[in-house]
Amino acid sequence: MDFLLSEEQRVIQKTVRDFAQKEVAPSAAERDEEERFDRHLFTKMAELGLTGIPWPETYGGIGSDYLSYAIAVEELSRVCAATGVTLSAHLSLASGPIFAFGTEYQKETYLTGLAEGTKLGAYGLTEPGSGSDAAAMKTTAVKDGRHFVLNGSKVFITNGGEADIYLIFASTSLEKKQRGVSAFIVEKDFPGFTIGKKERKLGIRSSPTTEIRMNNCRVPEENVLGNVGDGFKIAMQTLDGGRNGIAAQAVGIAQGALDAAVQYAKERKQFGKPIAKMQGISFKLADMAVKVEAARLLTYQAAWRESEGLSYGNESAMSKLFASDTAMEVTTEAVQVFGGYGYMKEYPVERFMRDAKVTQLYEGTNEILRSVISKQLFPGDL
Ligand code: CAA
């Protein structure tokens, strides 16, 4: 068993850490305040090769692995969780399924642009009436000659409105539920495709979240991803990878909050000494450090399994569950270490705490993940 990162993984870690410090951190608070997405940052990530980390060079990627990708999301999220999820949704949710299930035409036409970062991707599964019960979707797709005609709406779309390519799940047969779902690659300019309301959020405010609408949206049949009727499994398998991206985001948020709390505890003096010298604070920081490291190990393990071609769905459900709960706990404790200052916008920990919350909610609420994990404990019917 080897816990050391490879030379390539270390280079990627250092490159993203430097980039995050120099280019992402300085504007993070302002972008959060203004709820402003910065496409320029995405383009800079593309120039570093981050938008195609695990994909082969033939499709515009840099041919690295899923652990390097997790490390990149972690390092971005350490300073700005919104930038972390931009990359995670683009890479795991939009590009990943095209790489795994796409035809050669789809890979050349869509994956290459996504990997090179000239295109931004998004994933549309959730609807107003179907969140955790993803199979209850109402969006329909009806065959019409060499096209499918999509009607319906999707909500909570990360990268919505900014993305160029959307992976949309729609039902070709509502009565078949899960087995009636199909996946479609939809370009933002396809007729009948429009962007709806932009959400105002508690955290990750510089990551856009919108509604999208399909009103007789015509999608060429060559844009069906996988087979008609395989969409639900594609959606689930995609979320297996996506959940580990969110785990990496949560580890980054928690590490960022821990870094800030440690620094503050050294500088802040009360009762004539730095508060780090008080056991009430230093033990709190020690507990925070242990949890962050445990969350990181689970996350890296799931990413490593994905890179090795081993099963990783259960492990990524565990990593997302544990890392997101850790992020919520650690950021809340970081605010506590800062005392009243932690509650103010002057310091980044209140943003980390707001950002942490969503990691317990999206890509499967932690209750759904507990249900996924417990199913593995009781295979077959009880
Ligand atoms: N991989 C491959 N196939 C899978 C699978 C997986 N991980 N999980 C389930 N399946 C298959 C099953 O084997 C089954 O196949 P058969 O029909 O051949 O038997 C089929 O899918 C149906 O499975 P279930 O009966 O378990 O399906 P279900 O309807 O009971 O739902 C669920 C299961 C786990 C609750 C699922 O609906 C789920 O994950 N819900 C949460 C949805 C979610 O995570 N949404 C997040 C939205 S995206 C987002 O948040 C993005 C963002 O903003 C960043």
Q: Is the pLDDT of residue 1 over 90?
A: no
Q: Residue for token digits 């689930």? A: 236
Structure tokens at 332: 């809340």
**Two tokens, residue 155:** 């909500």
Nearest protein Cα to ligand 1, atom 25: 178
**For residue 220, how many C-alpha atoms fall within 13 Å in the half-sphere facing its CB?**
7
CATH superfamily for domain 122-232? Butyryl-CoA Dehydrogenase, subunit A, domain 2 (2.40.110.10)
pLDDT at residue 81 tops 90: yes
Mean pLDDT of 182-199: 98
- Index of the ligand 1 atom closest to the CA of residue 375: 26
pLDDT at position 44 is: 98
Q: Tell me the pLDDT tens digit for each residue of 251-297.
A: 999 999 999 999 999 999 999 999 999 999 999 999 999 999 999 99
- Shortest-distance atom of ligand 1 to CA 134: 37
Q: How far apart, in whole angstroms, are the C-alpha atoms of residue 75 and residue 44?
A: 15
- Options 2.40.37.10, 3.40.980.10, 1.20.140.10, 3.30.43.10; CATH for 233-377 is 1.20.140.10
State what percent of residues in the chain have pLDDT above 70. 100
So which residues are the catalytic ones?
363
Q: Find out whether the beta carbon of 156 lies less than 6 Å from any atom of ligand 1.
A: yes
User: Does the CB atom of residue 364 touch ligand 1 within 6 A?
Assistant: yes
7-120 with 233-377: one CATH topology? no
Predicted local distance difference test score (pLDDT) of residue 379: 83
Q: Is the pTM of this model over 0.95?
A: yes
Q: What's the confidence (pLDDT) of residue 370?
A: 98
DSSP codes, 136-154: G---EEEEETTEEEEEEEE
> Is residue 382 scored above 90 in pLDDT?
no
Q: Give residue 233 CA to ligand 1 midpoint distance, Å.
A: 7
CA–CA separation, 42 vs 207, rounded Å? 11
Which atom of ligand 1 is nearest the CA belonging to 233? Answer: 3
- Judged against a pLDDT cut of 90, whether residue 381 lies above it is answered with no
pLDDT of residue 90: 98
Q: How confident is the model at residue 362 (pLDDT cuts 50, 70, 90)?
A: very high
Mean pLDDT of the chain: 98
* Ligand 1 neighbourhood includes 237 CB (under 6 angstroms): yes
Q: Render pLDDT for 295-329 as a digit per residue (tens, 0 to 9).
A: 999 999 999 999 999 999 999 999 999 999 999 99
CA angle, corner 226, sides to 221 and 227, nearest 5? 75
| Sequence spans of domains, the chain | 7-120, 122-232, 233-377
Q: Which fold has domain 7-120?
A: Butyryl-Coa Dehydrogenase, subunit A; domain 1 (1.10.540)
pLDDT of residue 238: 98
In short, whether 139's Cβ falls inside 6 Å of ligand 1 is no
Q: Any residues with CB less than 8 A from the CB of 60 and at least 6 apart, and which? A: 52, 111, 112, 113, 114, 115, 116
**CA–CA separation, 288 vs 13, rounded Å?**
22
Rounded to the nearest 10 degrees, the angle between the axes of helix 81-88 and helix 25-34 is: 90
Q: How confident is the model at residue 226 (pLDDT cuts 50, 70, 90)?
A: very high
- Looking at the chain, the whole-number percentage of residues with pLDDT higher than 90 is 98
pLDDT digits (tens, 9 = 90+) for 231-242: 999 999 999 999
Taken in order 13, 15, 16, 18, the sign of the CA dihedral is positive
pLDDT value at 155 more than 80: yes
Residue nearest to atom 33 of ligand 1 (CA): 133
* H/E segment holding residue 229: none
Question: Does residue 116 have a pLDDT over 80?
Answer: yes
Confidence of residue 137 (pLDDT cuts 50, 70, 90): very high
State whether the beta carbon of 125 lies less than 6 angstroms from ligand 1.
Answer: yes
Provide the pLDDT for residue 156: 98
